[in-house]
Structure 1
């Protein structure tokens, strides 16, 4: 058994005596471990570093991506919710398979365990981790932006009794805003994904207390309106990028918000 904390402390140098491909398998299993100190600790850092540095060969990275795509059907929430993080690393490093998008598209709006943090399992964050991958796919040239915008709408309109409580609304809004920075996105498509949200929530009567799914949607769209106005940072210290069709998006989001709260 590898002491991954020691590997992390050694600048993630590859341990001697074990093939990298075998070590990747051990890291993959660690990122589905129910112990948050294992899943979200040194193994995560080491795997992310090896992917970014190109330490893992392309064939093994693609196998890892296929494994993560399959993990969306895992019965354990900790396995499902960490799969998008690994896929995000891989796509950021230049790897891509259309099947990964298909698997993600099936899982994201269907996930019912939306806990951000659990006292035993630690961070789960399915909505937030999924949002990060949605943004990554949504900016990929082989994925049409409308596909990911429609997926965001499907996640927002999916029934749930769970109120976002760990900034999931902000992460999802940021993901949508990043997809909306694509300059190949037509003006109509930039707001067309809002129609099912308006139809779904614009016809319901808001009860007291406000239902969780409506609260989640309202807060996500409000944050999106801010990002559409000010631009969105793709990450780190990079400058903010403008949302394409900025005024149209702002007006579209505002109209949906108005329809929901005034009905």
Structure 2
């Protein structure tokens, strides 16, 4: 069984008080994982608790679970079932608030993206499955227009998965089929929230791939960056044909 402190921190991670949850429990748990303070049994227990937490009744409790799993991945722990469990939660989560005046940071979209991005950067999990989860989250119907850089965090996760050597050309752009289908189904009128979120995420990714993607402050290569940028530009051109068009030379 885990020690009393670890159990208390895990319980506090579900607190509706942002000072207890974010500044206290999450910061302490991430530090203990990062500094190697937890043994194998404690890490396994913590991962199991976070997987259960994904089905918690309160969104702030659900949304912080993938951040802890991301910390464990960064420290060298990983089980394939983690990706499956987080994906099931991520693509169906309905409460996409970023910062809430009472709850503080909720950030389900960003925190889930951080988990997938960490898996991508660490070279664990099936790359196509990671990209698929992020692509499905992009196009899932919602009434929330992201306002707290969720688009940048999701774009960063995509870029980190795309740095992997096991991502071939087809996989690097296959996740964009979800976007292509959504754009093709569009009609005149107000822009749906998920379409707005997707456009801004793709723009962020396009900019990053034209510069230097960073991991931990250090540049990392993206093998198929030119192909992905062309595909992204082509999709974005469809929704702003009156503004610009892709270069032909």
Taking structure 2 as the reference length, the TM-score comes to 0.92
1:246 match = 225
1:107 match = 89
Q: How many residues align?
A: 242
Q: Are 2:182 and 1:200 aligned?
A: yes
Alpha-carbon distance between aligned partners in 2 of 1:126 and 1:258, rounded to the nearest angstrom: 29
After superposition, the CA RMSD in angstroms is: 1.6
1:16 match = none
Alpha-carbon distance between aligned partners in 2 of 1:140 and 1:205, rounded to the nearest angstrom: 40
- Conservation of the 8 A alpha-carbon contact between 1:132 and 1:171: yes
Alpha-carbon distance between aligned partners in 1 of 2:68 and 2:102, rounded to the nearest angstrom: 22
- Conservation of the 8 A alpha-carbon contact between 2:98 and 2:108: yes
- Conservation of the 8 A alpha-carbon contact between 1:198 and 1:260: no
Cα deviation for residue 262 of structure 1 reads: 4.5
| More divergent stretch after superposition (74-83 vs 96-105) | 96-105
1:163-216: CA deviation from partner (whole Å, max 9, x where unpaired): 0000100110011011111122111211111012101222211423x2211110
Taking structure 1 as the reference length, the TM-score comes to 0.88
Structure 2 spans left out of the alignment, 5+ residues: 243-249
Q: What are the equivalent positions in structure 2 for 1:31-110 lying under 5 Å apart?
A: 31-110=13-92
Alpha-carbon distance between aligned partners in 2 of 1:43 and 1:214, rounded to the nearest angstrom: 35
2:149 to 161, 167, 176: 167
1:231 to 207, 212, 237: 212
CA gap 1:116/1:167 in 2 versus in 1, 3 angstroms: same
Q: State the SS of the aligned residue for 1:115.
A: coil
Alpha-carbon distance between aligned partners in 1 of 2:164 and 2:210, rounded to the nearest angstrom: 16
- Conservation of the 8 A alpha-carbon contact between 1:68 and 1:87: yes
2:245 match = none
- Conservation of the 8 A alpha-carbon contact between 1:228 and 1:242: no
1:60-111: CA deviation from partner (whole Å, max 9, x where unpaired): 1111101101111111101001001111111111111122111101011100
Q: Are 2:148 and 1:154 aligned?
A: no
Q: Are 2:166 and 1:184 aligned?
A: yes
Structure 1 spans left out of the alignment, 5+ residues: 1-18
Q: State the SS of the aligned residue for 1:198.
A: helix
Cα deviation for residue 231 of structure 1 reads: 2.5
Q: Are 2:7 and 1:25 aligned?
A: yes
CA gap 1:146/1:206 in 2 versus in 1, 3 angstroms: farther
CA gap 1:142/1:48 in 2 versus in 1, 3 angstroms: closer
Cα deviation for residue 20 of structure 1 reads: 6.3
